[in-house]
């Protein structure tokens, strides 16, 4: 007899208890996302789950959180079988999931979003005063500096991510599942998150499960680690019994390079070997939130932009792409005036852009990967200006998807792919536009080590073979230092305009520059 999950779990939280999967399998058509997975999570521990995109990590969390029903197998909570058909049943059982993609409605206030679906009442009326008070306390605990009446749309992505975590804590969950929670966070916020996770597991005796593609983060905070590949468990054990090498091999298999050998600065084509033709010049660019930004970019150069969230780095890329307007300054592209009034204009001038928030403005969820890739460039596949050459269009898209090793059903809807595979599709779309200037905003966001290597290789290959220019925004210091030739620091919507050679920087002084705002 399965446990009734329509009420809160009543077991004693001071003793050891478990959440487990028994012979779980999940199939989507001919694709087997999980294959006979048996795994135990124990209270008082942080358990890390790592794996390649499409390995089954998110599928496992979706089953535990009630978003999916397994094809076969089952789950146990405190040694008793439970079955969830809807997420609210998992919530009632004390299981909350913080997903990589933001879920709280952006048109609500903080207190409304934190209590959505479980509002407090007093004498039959909403107890707004108490909900505001508790929300203020939650914000303080997660270090979100905002009033309880603040609308979520006015917060940064990182603040909204922290609020997702606050919402789970506010529901008094017994099990908290984190799906790539650090993707949109700054280093200081990541440290705060890990501190919260340790408190939840080690002091409050909760079960904390962390899905993360950054192996160093997993090994730094988790007590146990499990690696998935092709829906199966490849490695599992205590953190102090697992090396970074064995974990990397379990995630990406046998490769010629290890995770620490992705790309080093001396592997990139040296600037002295390139034709030093000026591609892009920005002079004193200004807008509502950008101030006096100047930079130059040469053909064949990869320029990194690093800064804290809110520094203006993403806004600058969107301005170059014509998605946001500028009020003063000059931009020249290949020696001609460049006035990006719209994305259509930018595309016509050979400028391609990869957005940071793929779910919000990156793709159309009800189209296939190939349809999303070719939508901006359909004119290239027209015959007699009327008919589309569908065979050529699809074969061109599929060739790039194969090169990027996109996993999953690429003939189905893009929304059904994992987050990392969706990101690779969007990167492939940018490449198909054959740009002379490629703007990349967090191009490996939510992507595992193996996929990063593939993306890095393709960026490097494009720059070398096509002599294009790349401006890359990234929150990952290792990424900035490994793939870019030069880096500029943004702070408070401005930059000094001085480019630093990445070969002369390390993570410590890169972070210091971002905090000080000096080059």
pLDDT at 407 over 60: yes
Q: Are residues 180 and 79 in the same domain?
A: yes
The mean pLDDT value for 456-473 works out to: 89
Q: Are residues 228 and 93 in the same domain?
A: yes
Q: Are residues 179 and 311 in the same domain?
A: no
pLDDT score at 286: 93
Residue of 224 and 456 predicted with greater confidence = 224
Q: Give domain status of residue 61, yes or no.
A: yes
Q: Give domain status of residue 139, yes or no.
A: no
Q: Are residues 63 and 194 in the same domain?
A: yes
C-beta separation of 339 from 331 below 8 A: yes
- SS3 state of residue 48: strand
Q: Are residues 391 and 518 in the same domain?
A: no
pLDDT score at 13: 59
List of residues 6+ apart from 282 with CB closer than 8 A? 293, 294, 295, 296, 320, 329, 330, 331
The mean pLDDT value for 176-201 works out to: 85
User: What tens digit of pLDDT does each residue of 288-313 get?
Assistant: 889 999 999 999 999 999 987 678 89
Q: Give domain status of residue 163, yes or no.
A: no
* Partners of 366 in the β-ladder: none
Q: Give domain status of residue 213, yes or no.
A: yes
pLDDT at 248 over 70: yes
pLDDT score at 11: 47
What range does the domain containing 219 cover?
Answer: 18-104+168-261
Q: Give domain status of residue 271, yes or no.
A: no
The mean pLDDT value for 263-285 works out to: 62
Q: Are residues 378 and 237 in the same domain?
A: no
Q: Are residues 46 and 176 in the same domain?
A: yes
Pairing status of strand 469-473 against strand 437-441: parallel
Q: 128-141 vs 157-170: helix axis angle to the nearest 10?
A: 120
Q: Which of 77-86, 105-114, 402-411 has the lowest mean pLDDT?
A: 402-411
Residue of 421 and 35 predicted with greater confidence = 35
Q: Are residues 478 and 416 in the same domain?
A: no
Report how far residue 33's alpha carbon sits from residue 13's, in angstroms, rounded to the nearest whole number. Answer: 33
Among 403, 434, 465, the domain boundary falls at 434
- pLDDT band of residue 518 (cuts 50, 70, 90) is very low
Q: Are residues 48 and 36 in the same domain?
A: yes
C-beta separation of 420 from 413 below 8 A: no
Sheet order of strands, 31-42 included: 31-42, 18-28, 72-77, 80-82
pLDDT score at 247: 87
Q: Give domain status of residue 149, yes or no.
A: no
Pairing status of strand 72-77 against strand 80-82: antiparallel
Among 227, 261, 295, the domain boundary falls at 261
pLDDT at 349 over 70: yes
User: What tens digit of pLDDT does each residue of 194-238 get?
Assistant: 988 998 999 989 999 999 877 888 999 999 999 998 889 999 999
Q: Are residues 429 and 445 in the same domain?
A: no
Q: How many domains does the chain have?
A: 3
Q: Give domain status of residue 355, yes or no.
A: no
User: What tens digit of pLDDT does each residue of 135-149 get?
Assistant: 999 999 888 889 999
What does DSSP assign to residue 491?
B
pLDDT score at 270: 40
Q: How is residue 203 written in tokens?
A: 């002091």
Q: Where are the alpha helices (DSSP H) in 230-342?
A: 244-252, 313-320
Among 376, 411, 434, the domain boundary falls at 434
- SS3 state of residue 120: coil
pLDDT score at 14: 65
pLDDT, the chain, mean:
83
- pLDDT band of residue 12 (cuts 50, 70, 90) is low
pLDDT score at 52: 73
- pLDDT band of residue 318 (cuts 50, 70, 90) is very high
Q: Are residues 386 and 457 in the same domain?
A: no
Segment holding 173, helix H or strand E: none
pLDDT score at 410: 81
Q: Give domain status of residue 154, yes or no.
A: no
pLDDT score at 359: 66
> What's the whole-model pTM score?
0.60
pLDDT at 273 over 60: no
pLDDT score at 278: 92
pLDDT score at 464: 87
pLDDT score at 412: 85
Q: Are residues 97 and 27 in the same domain?
A: yes
C-beta separation of 7 from 168 below 8 A: no
The CATH number for 61's domain is 3.40.50.300
């Amino acid at each position: 007899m399965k446990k009734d999950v329509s009420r809160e779990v009543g077991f004693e939280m001071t003793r050891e208890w478990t959440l487990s999967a028994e012979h779980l399998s999940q199939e989507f058509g001919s694709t087997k996302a999980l294959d006979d997975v048996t795994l135990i999570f124990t209270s008082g521990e942080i358990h890390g789950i790592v794996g390649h995109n499409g390995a089954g990590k998110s599928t496992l969390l979706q089953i535990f959180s009630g978003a999916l029903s397994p094809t076969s197998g089952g789950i146990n909570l405190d040694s008793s079988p439970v079955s969830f058909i809807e997420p609210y049943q998992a919530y009632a059982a004390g299981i909350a999931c913080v997903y990589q993609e933001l879920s709280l409605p952006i048109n609500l206030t903080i207190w409304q979003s934190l209590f959505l679906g479980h509002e407090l009442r007093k004498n039959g009326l909403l107890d707004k005063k108490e909900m505001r008070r508790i929300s203020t306390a939650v914000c303080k605990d997660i270090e979100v500096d905002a009033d309880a009446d603040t609308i979520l749309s006015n917060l940064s992505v990182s603040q909204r991510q922290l609020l997702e975590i606050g919402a789970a804590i506010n529901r008094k969950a017994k099990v908290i599942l984190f799906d790539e929670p650090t993707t949109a966070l700054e280093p200081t916020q990541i440290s705060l998150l890990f501190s919260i996770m340790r408190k939840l597991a080690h002091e409050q005796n909760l079960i904390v499960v962390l899905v993360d593609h950054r192996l160093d983060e997993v090994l730094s905070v988790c007590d146990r680690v499990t690696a998935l590949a092709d829906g199966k468990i490849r490695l599992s054990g205590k953190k102090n019994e697992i090396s970074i090498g064995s974990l990397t091999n379990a995630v990406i298999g046998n490769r010629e390079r290890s995770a620490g050998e992705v790309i080093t600065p001396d592997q990139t084509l040296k600037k002295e070997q390139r034709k030093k033709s000026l591609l892009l010049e920005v002079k004193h660019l200004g807008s509502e939130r950008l101030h006096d930004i100047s930079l130059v970019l040469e053909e064949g150069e990869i320029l990194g932009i690093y800064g804290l969230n809110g520094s203006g780095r993403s806004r600058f890329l969107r301005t170059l792409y014509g998605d946001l307007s500028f009020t003063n300054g000059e931009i020249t592209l290949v020696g001609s005036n460049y006035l990006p009034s719209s994305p259509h204009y930018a595309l016509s001038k050979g400028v391609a852009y990869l957005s940071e928030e793929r779910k919000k403005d990156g793709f159309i969820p009800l189209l296939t990967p190939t349809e999303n890739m070719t939508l901006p460039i359909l004119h290239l596949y027209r015959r007699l200006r009327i008919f589309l050459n569908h065979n050529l269009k699809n074969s061109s898209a599929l060739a790039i998807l194969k090169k990027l090793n996109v996993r999953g059903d690429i003939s189905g809807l893009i929304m059904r792919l994992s987050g990392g595979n969706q990101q690779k599709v969007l990167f492939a779309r940018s490449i198909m536009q054959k740009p002379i200037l490629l703007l990349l905003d967090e191009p490996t966001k939510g992507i595992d080590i193996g996929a990063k290597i593939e993306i890095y290789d393709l960026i490097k290959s494009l720059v070398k073979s096509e002599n294009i220019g790349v401006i890359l925004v990234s929150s990952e210091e290792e990424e900035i230092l490994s793939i870019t030739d030069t880096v500029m620091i943004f702070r408070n919507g401005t930059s000094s305009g001085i480019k630093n050679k990445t070969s002369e920087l390390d993570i410590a002084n890169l972070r210091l520059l971002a905090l000080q705002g000096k080059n």
